[in-house]
Structure 1
Amino acid sequence: MKYFLLLLFLALNNCSFSQQQTFDITHFTPPQGWKKQNSESAIQLTKEDEAKGTYCMITLFKAVPGTTNSKENFDVAWTSVVKEMVTISTAPEMQPAIKENGWEAQSGYAPFESDGNKGVALLVTSSGFEKMVNIIILTNSDIYEKDITDFLGSIDFKTLSTDQPVKPTTQPVKSTTKADGFTFTTTNFDDGWNSTVQEDWVEATKGNIKVLIHYPNKKADAYNSVLLDGLKNAWDILVAPRYSSASNMEFKPVTGWQSIEFAEADMVEKDSRKKVYVVLFKMNYSNGSGKYLEFITPDKKTFEQAFGAYHQESYGWEKMEKMATYNKFAIAASDLSGKWTSDFSGAIQYVNANTGLDAGMDTHASAENFFMAANSTYKWDLGVASGQVGNIKFQSAKSTGRFSLPSNWQVKFSDISGKPRTYNAFFSCIKGLRILWLDDRPFAKAE
């Protein structure tokens, strides 16, 4: 078994690029034939042989805030997650740490017992960029060696910003009216797209193409168990009121793990009386983050040249999906005054691979706050609670200092967890409000 675990450890340096999937910031290739269960906070992969009584369970957790000490992060995860899942009587046998691309992986294993079943628990904790990603493997046999080795070898992480991020070339344009109270209401992107804040959407234009990035709308976004009915409802609310007539209308949703909403028609605009081709599109991401995008072009040919033709697969829509990223605007120091908060909570339910009985629930919750003043001073705090229900562990951190803007796309704080920290930063818009993004984490302003 020790040789088996050593192979798993060595796999951390391998690379695999085929059929990769992404969960949160982690890229991975799931073993073929394994069952996959998703939750907000983790992905669980399982395989068992009931006849032989063997099983293996891999749990990949969402990234959570971590310290700069990788061993300390490992110890916290071992205590609050692994030891809450199974009974372990010995300290983990650690493997040498691995450093690569700003990440440091700590791994260790120990024998465990749970409901009379014995096996080995392996924890891999990868720390970097003030985050940590945990992978827990529980197994009672080395017959899964190759699958686990290949899985660990496929692990890769999204590129995250460092303390000195590269300045973007996207140019902000100052608003002369500041209608919504913020300094920047237009962005000229370096690929030719220009975005402008509007009352009910962000309008992105390039040449004779216009894309409306609709803000969340309770009525249009209301859940409907029938995909087609939900698409028709959204069209009636978001699109139809601005046009006087329509022809060649088709509603063509695509079912799948992440379904596609696609509707098209030749329309006549009420205001300009121009004939246009209109597509309403939405990718229904598993985490619920999809946005309705309205594409307006002179004709269908223009649309297909820019974004591709309709197809019945749930993949290959990247050109259309990308348009949601143009809801992006620069920041000014005067826009930051006040309290900005970000919170997360999630849970994963464990089931015994042999008996099917409840094996407990692991939870994670965090809350992070920035209090920024007009004189460029700030207060920062972070609270984290994690572990199995009934034995939650709590951690917290806080600091104060001064903030500055190296550019209109960055915020630098003098002290975050004991050292200066520079975040890539921008605003996205929803109706009447803006969301502050710091290194891909959203913060809402608390009034």
Structure 2
Amino acid sequence: MSSHQEQWSRLLAPYRKTRQDKNLAPLDVVRNPFVQDYDRIIFSSSFRRLAKKTQVHPLVRNDHIHNRLTHSLEVSCVGRSLGLQVGQALAEKGDLPEGFTPDHLGQIIQAACLAHDIGNPPFGHAGEEAIRDWFKDTGHTEHYFKELRPAERADFVAFDGNAQGFRVINTLENNKDAGGFRLTFPVLASLVKYPRSAHEALGQSSGKFNFYTAEQAVFTDIFTTLGLMRDDRARRHPLSYLLEAADDICYRIIDMEDARELRIITYQDIKNAMAPLLGDEDMDAGRLNAMDSDRRRSGMLRTRAMSCIIPSVVQTFLDNYEDIMNGTLQGDLLKHAEKNVADFMAAAKEVFNNKIMNNPQKTALEIGTYTLYKRLLDIFIPACFNFSKKNPMSYQETRALTLMGSNAPAEGECLYTAYLRVLDFVSGMTDDYATFISQQFSGTAAQ
């Protein structure tokens, strides 16, 4: 067995958490464990609620615009294609362990991609920023968080949908507080783009992280079992690079398509951004001109772009294979992409930053997001604080805990866990429900 084959045999081992510890799920079944993972995710309430969560454009009434659920489905398709093609290349190298096929790699990435946004709060990145800013407020910090350890405080002031997603998957869904979905370890590790805690991420350039202090033990178990811990530091699972690329490819292309649908940009803007990627032959001007709408033309360009980018990203993975396997690759795959792909991503990013992000309606809604989250957290955090400290509680605070339902803190839970329960409840809301509850709290709910 070659060194890489031995490494992959550990990286792909389908361990799954059980009530007591973990076991190795059987691979030689018709519905293998990675397919089971996909099914567990797609039938969950957390995944279903993504249909009412913002991808980029909040509270739009145009049915053609993507939400988090449709985005996740599309990312899973691109991820599957990347996994299959990389898997085929590894099989030809002789690096796939016995019993594994390219299909298995495609299935692992497909399941991981399906769940990659499952922890995102209402109103997407604007919601993340609003939550962080509330917890960074000096008055809140001095009153509510002075008893928390620095690592625990970091989870709130650096709130990130990636870490919340890791918690949803491993703690909240299906087997609540007892393993969550209990997905296979390769799928769980492939989800992790930033293998560090909030406390470790603070002060770093990106500030991104993938797990809370509460899930530290789960994370360590997964990454140790798969051979991804070195000198007490975790390194990324090789397949996580493919998940990240699939996400980046989709949102760069699809965000432009949605913006054109909303008349924020034009079809010509999309065509110009595609120019580094698609030559005249790829553009197929005759067929484009024969189409009856810019929506169809944009869809055709998206298809052509995907067909160029996917094999290019696979080649980039193979070109950087040794660094990926050694855990020494700097940055994501697209940072090392071939020139035509890199130029397209740069052009699409410029359109996004300069035109899409600065759309007045989008900006106004994002500003309103801060007011929405302030109303919610101004009530739920004090309620949980007084409950955990056994302080006298107002009628409003008592009713707030009732509203939280199964997400409310239990008797005896520490303050840190009580605050996590608030994040679980608030970040799990849909855009519409969060808006409704905020309006209720303001006393001006729509009739």
Greater share of residues in helix = 2
Same fold (TM over 0.5): no
Higher strand share: 1
TM-score normalized by structure 2? 0.26
The structure whose RCO (Cα within 8 Å, separation 6+) is larger is 2
TM-score by length of 1: 0.26
Over alpha carbons, which structure has the higher Rg?
1
